[in-house]
Copies of this chain bind each other. A is one copy, B any other.
Amino acid sequence: MGNKYREAGVDYDVLDRAKRETLALAKQTAAYPNYLGATVDESSFGESASLVDLAGQKLGFVIECLGTKSMIAKSYFDMGGEDRFFDIAYDAVAAVVNDLICVGALPIMVNAYFATGSADFYLQPYAMSLAKGWQAACSDSGAAWGGGESPTLAGLVEKDGVELAGSAVGKVPDGVLPLSGSRLEPGDEIVILYSSGMHTNGASLARKIASNLDHSYLTPLPSGTAFGAALLEKSIIYVDSVRDLMTKENILHYASHITGHGIRKIMRADRELTYRLHKLPPVPEVLEFMAGLESMSDFDAYATLNMGSGFALYVKAGMGEKVCETAASHGKSAIVAGVVEEGPKRIIVEPLGLTYDEKELLIR
């Protein structure tokens, strides 16, 4: 796996090694803010978000980015497609807050980072769509949009491009345990919440595929939807489902946002456990189309794209169906997909007859 991505300019092996070295340096700084009454939860280093205890209140903190999906929105618009910049801003917030809630912190504030290659970006008809999408996503996350930064980086960011990123600070509700891999137990049920499509992972690959298609992003999928329109279906924000489960019953133990590395993120926790999946969500048409054009094996496709799985919740044994009902109450599709078992760190995907071993996910 990984060759497809390497061709598209993303070399995860190199990236992952640098990440690990950097993580080691970061860990050495943990005690610096103790004088403010802040205690960094060192077990959260390398998790989706960082946790800090501040005089008894547990804060989560994260920075995330959209990747290159904005280039798809730009190209699709330039080819005569709709303005989908609202959707990509929504995506960027989703990338941020869906990471934040993996530690059980509910977003308080999300700040925006829009870097352009030229200030002329703000003269484009779609410029304000970004702000509107950001605001809508903050609304769906229950977060305030506190501000942000919008640098013009001529020569560093592509001339007509815009790069979206964001950061968030959140809070674990009082009296509720943060989510952590250390809380996983054999017998926990794995609930998978569906994705709406590509979400924010796979944009480089999608761009490469589009460049090889005669009609690029205007190529119709079997359903008739244009490839670009399908790619730009906005991500799902899972905050409401996690919020409802962050109660003093503590039935939610852990959560994983399925992004880069696809379904391998199911084994994100730093634990020696086996994750057995006996059911999978339906595959969004656009991801099936991409995997098919790239002649990806199931193994590669599920290790690269989300293939329908947007977010995983690990809940107390016997609570899976109830959690699916909670998700449904927010209009979200979910299935009890599997179970956590004693055993070596791996994912057994029964419907596909596949196993992903620990070595397939060296970076968490």
Task: Please give the residue numbers on chain A whose beta carbons come within 8 Å of chain B beta carbons, in ascending order.
Answer: 8-12, 14-15, 17-19, 21-23, 25-26, 28-33, 35-38, 40, 44-47, 49-50, 52, 54-55, 57, 59, 61-65, 67-68, 70-71, 106-109, 111-113, 115, 118-120, 122-123, 127-128, 131-132, 134-135, 138-139, 141-158, 161, 163, 165-167, 169, 171, 173-174, 204, 207
Is B11's CB under 8 angstroms from A120's CB?
yes
Is B154's CB under 8 angstroms from A50's CB?
no
What's the least CB distance linking A241 to chain B, in Å?
A: 16
A111 to B146: give the CA distance in the assembly, Å.
17
A91 to B23: give the CA distance in the assembly, Å.
20
A130 to B311: give the CA distance in the assembly, Å.
32
How many copies altogether? 2
Residue from the list B19, B145, B158 in contact with A156, Cβ < 8 A: B158
User: What is the chain B residue whose CB lies nearest that of A166?
Assistant: B63
Is B169's CB under 8 angstroms from A59's CB?
yes
What's the dominant secondary structure at chain A's contact region? mixed
Given contacts A120-B14, A152-B10, contact A26 B145 (CB under 8 A): yes
In the complex, chain B residues whose CB is within 8 Å of the CB of A143 = 29, 32-33
With A18-B128, A33-B144, A152-B204 given, name 7 new contacts (CB 8 A).
A29-B135, A38-B171, A52-B169, A65-B115, A156-B161, A157-B163, A167-B167
Is B157's CB under 8 angstroms from A52's CB?
no
Given contacts A25-B132, A29-B143, contact A154 B118 (CB under 8 A): no
